[in-house]
Structure 1
Amino acid sequence: MKAKSFDAKFEKGEDVTKSLDLSKARRPLQEQRRVNVDFPAWMVESLDREAGRLGVTRQSVIKVWLAERLEQIASNK
């Protein structure tokens, strides 16, 4: 499919995903990398309580809090 046809279909609101190879799609700066971090037991327990209160996973709490802190640091520069 030519780019012009693709753009026209997209602009009309048609589904163009069939024309894409999504198996290699990546979100810039969103690629996952696994890290291992050891926390003291009291910290894990606190994280679990907060995760339970929010109804999310421990991992989600950690990600959100780290993201907030990193954004705060970046905005102060």
Structure 2
Amino acid sequence: MKANEFDRKFDEGEDVSAAVDWSKAKRVNSETRRVNVDFPAWVVESLDRQAQHLGVTRQSLIKLWIAERLE
């Protein structure tokens, strides 16, 4: 399938997943960088309570909340 046909099908909402080699797929801008942030103890305690309530780690919760805010 040529690229313009693929684009047209995708834009029209057709399923193009069969035309993709998922073993070679890469996410754009997915490289990670370490960032250190200092929080007051009460913030960390609140984050821990919320993370436990949701069944996720503190780090996962922070990443999720920041990503949601940036959207």
Q: TM-score range by the shorter chain?
A: 0.5 to 0.7
Give 2:32's aligned residue.
32
Structure 2, gaps ≥5 residues long: 1-17
TM-score, normalized by length of structure 2?
A: 0.64
Aligned residues: 54
Q: In structure 2, do the counterparts of structure 1 residues 16 and 48 end up closer, same or farther at CA, with 3 Å as the change threshold?
A: closer
Could you say which residue in structure 2 is the equivalent of 1:57? 57
- The one-letter code of the counterpart of 2:50 is E
Q: CA RMSD in A?
A: 2.5
Query: 4+ residue stretches of structure 1 with deviation over 4 A?
Result: none
Give the Cα separation in 2 of the matches to 1:36 and 1:63. 13
Bigger radius of gyration, 1 or 2? 1
Q: Specify the code of the residue in structure 2 equivalent to 1:36.
A: N
Give the C-alpha shift of residue 28 in structure 1: 1.2
Identity %: 69
Q: How far apart are the structure 2 equivalents of 1:52 and 1:62?
A: 13
Runs of at least 5 residues in structure 1 that lack an aligned partner in the other structure = 1-10, 72-77
